[in-house]
Amino acid sequence: MKIEDFGVEIWMNAHETHCRFNIAETCVDSITFADLMQMAGKSQAILGELNGLKLTYGAIEGSARLKAAIATLYTGRAADEVLVTHGAAGANALLYAALVEPGDEVIAVVPTYQQHISIPESLGAVVRPLTLRAEEGYQPDLAALEALITPRTRLISLTNPNNPTGVVVRDDLLQGLADLAARHDLWVISDEVYRGVNQGNDALSPSLAEIYPKGIAVGSMSKAFAMAGLRLGWIVAPPALLHQVMIHRDYNTISVGMIDDLIASIALENREALLDRNRQIVRTNLDILARWVEEEPAVSWFRPDGATVTLLRYDLDLPSRTFCEKLLEETGVLLVPGSVFGVEGCVRIGFGNGTETLKAALPLVSDFLRRHGR
């Protein structure tokens, strides 16, 4: 099976461990195990649970405890509508394998995480992009979306909150998208790994799985929950679809690590404290970034209202890859070229990582913009 190179992952693999200032990171500043235990307030009990674990394959589809904790993130969905996966990366790959046949059409709201384009293409589907535009606040144009639907359309995919723009789909448009999908009886894969750390409002924003029976939510411990090291994600979908997914999952996952399952359960059982910590980080950092953008004449943006990432448009005569390579070489600051998302003249910045890193890196980006200015 041939598949396109995964632009953003190849870029990150090459540079993330060698740079001085990583402001390309998408995870909220990862939490330590000790801090999590302290947050849960039961360090000894948790160590006792870990000590008592017999290291088998564990519960194959994810423990009942974990599935129940995940289900609480989705109003109206139950634990039997949850399947635990190897990260959201595993969830997305499994969903496309279960849903897409050669000759199908998939509508992908772009820019997006490349899995949603390249995996269906590799399975023989035709991917039709619906492009989000800065001048429309990166909100989907539902009429344009409906115009892309043909009798061959199998599903629609989106990332919400969006990677790379950081924008959350407006509630009325999300409902409109669900209604439109219902009229055409389409599945919708909603990759919601950044849900939980919106700006402004502490409530979880609506999930597509809460408002549409064929809305499939993909979630993860990696981003909003700051625990990418667990490599643990999930799918929320009707049991009949999960059964189809299980047929593929038996071949490439069997089960996730039982230690990861336990730690994720503890984290989600304490999710308010964890998300409070994480929201504080992204809100502090986004304010710092906003002040910088305001004062930086060579940069403009559409201020995001969620996620940990956003696009910065720069006023330099450099392709985004050259921009990022030179920036890294000259300053040690890592950003992501917009070109890996098919957007030129932009870079993606992550604002979920350490505040001190962001504070140290932004003046270096300003110096770079001065040196290379038109």
Applying CB under 6 A, which residues contact ligand PLP? Answer: 26, 87-89, 113, 159, 163, 191, 193, 220, 222, 228, 233
Q: Are 212 and 188 in contact (CB under 8 A)?
A: yes
User: Which of residues 85 and 320 has its CB atom nearest to ligand PLP in the complex?
Assistant: 85
Nearer to ligand PLP, 68 or 228 (CB): 228
Structure tokens at 365: 């980006």
Nearest distance, CB of residue 191 and ligand PLP, angstroms: 5
Retrieve residue 258's tokens: 């039982």
Q: How far is the CB of 158 from ligand PLP (least distance, A)?
A: 10
Question: 191 or 368: whose CB is closer to ligand PLP?
Answer: 191
- Gap between the Cα atoms of 77 and 67, Å rounded: 11
Cβ proximity to ligand PLP: between 113 and 212 the closer is 113
Q: How far is the CB of 369 from ligand PLP (least distance, A)?
A: 26
Query: Which position's Cβ is nearest ligand PLP?
Result: 87
Q: How far is the CB of 61 from ligand PLP (least distance, A)?
A: 17
Q: In 3D, which of 142, 190, 173, 193 has the Cα closest to residue 309?
A: 193
Using the structure block, give the residue that is written with the tokens 């989106």.
Answer: 158
Q: Decide whether 190 or 320 has the Cβ nearer to ligand PLP.
A: 190
Q: Which amino acid is at 326?
A: K
Strands of the chain, DSSP E: 21-22, 82-85, 105-110, 126-131, 153-159, 187-191, 215-220, 233-236, 299-300, 309-314, 333-334, 336-337, 346-350
User: Could you tell me the smallest distance in angstroms from the CB atom of residue 86 to ligand PLP?
Assistant: 7
- The encoded tokens of residue 99 equal 């849903």
